[in-house]
Amino acid sequence: MRNRASVNIFRTDLSSHMTSYDLLKTFAIILMVIDHLGFFFFPHIEELRLIGRLSAPIWFFLIGYARTRKLELRLWIWGAVLLFGGMWIRQGHGFLPLNILFDFLLIRAILEVVMARAVRNFETLFGMFWLFALLALPSIFFLEYGTFGVLFAMMGYLARNRANIPTLSSKDIRIFILLTTLAYALGMWHEFRFETVNAGLMTVLLLCQSFLLFSFKPADLPVKNPIARLLKYPLFLTGRRTLEIYVVHLLIFMYVKAYGVF
């Protein structure tokens, strides 16, 4: 019974070992918190927002990489908690754009239909890229990150299923990754008006991250030394309770910003 309780706290039912998912999600969490610190408390430090631009593509990639397309109740619940909690804390703020959890729900609802067409050949993949790239900026008014999320989820789908997609070559997929990343970088530059040097740095970092993400594979990681054993359960927490961490830390930041000393 004690082991089962431990599993429930840290979601070790997914794996009793530390995994590559735990590391990748923890990295994304760190980037996300840095971004939100910049947004709420240090808006004058542009570099914090720049670093934060690396976080969202990881989450969208993982949504596409995942096998499940379930519109899980917990996404609806936590999305609503963040939506209405944020509106209550920040009096006068509307509900648009909807937070990123609603992006996840939309992507899960449409991704299989989108990819069924996109993988027919390079022309249809390229057409889907242009469709969602052109919709990205107007859709940001309604959904956080807009249809940029769909493009990175498509990348995740291609990474997971590339061995079963004979209609697309490695070159085709690399071009799609390049175009998706450049479109996102351009959109983020347009939204945040980064200085030229920082915009260039962001683009380079995003390109490196995208091609590294495409090489991502699920794997159990060995815990062979005291440091790794010490980090195991903190990584279980940050890697397996990301949804709760996302919502709770944002509500806390909103509250401190609205009623605290900042």
Domain-located, residue 64:
yes
Inform me whether the pLDDT recorded for 25 exceeds 70: yes
Domain-located, residue 1:
no
Element (H, E) at 100: helix 100-118
Confidence of residue 239 (pLDDT cuts 50, 70, 90): confident
Domain-located, residue 168:
yes
Other C-beta atoms closer than 10 Å to the C-beta of 93 total 12
Domain-located, residue 262:
no
Domain-located, residue 5:
no
**How far apart are the C-alpha atoms of 101 and 258, rounded to whole Å?**
23
Instruction: List, for residues 44-87, the tens digit of each pLDDT value.
Output: 999 999 999 999 999 999 999 999 999 999 999 999 999 999 99
Inform me whether the pLDDT recorded for 32 exceeds 80: yes
**How far apart are the C-alpha atoms of 71 and 48, rounded to whole Å?**
32
Residue 181 burial (C-beta neighbours within 10 Å; 0-12, 13-18, 19+):
buried
Q: How many domains does the chain have?
A: 1
Rounded average pLDDT over 114-131: 96
Domain-located, residue 2:
no
The bridge status of strand 220-221 relative to strand 18-19 is antiparallel
Confidence of residue 228 (pLDDT cuts 50, 70, 90): low
Range of the domain at 129: 16-255
pTM beyond 0.85: yes
Longest CA pairwise span in the chain (Å):
57
Pairwise pLDDT comparison (236 vs 11), residue with the higher score:
236
Domain-located, residue 174:
yes
- Cα-Cα-Cα-Cα torsion 32, 97, 206, 246, nearest 10 degrees, comes to 20
Instruction: List, for residues 187-206, the tens digit of each pLDDT value.
Output: 999 999 999 999 999 999 99
Domain-located, residue 6:
no
| Of the candidates 151, 154, 60, 165, the residue with the CA atom closest to the CA atom of residue 104 | 60
Confidence of residue 260 (pLDDT cuts 50, 70, 90): confident
Residue 98 CA from chain centroid, whole number: 15
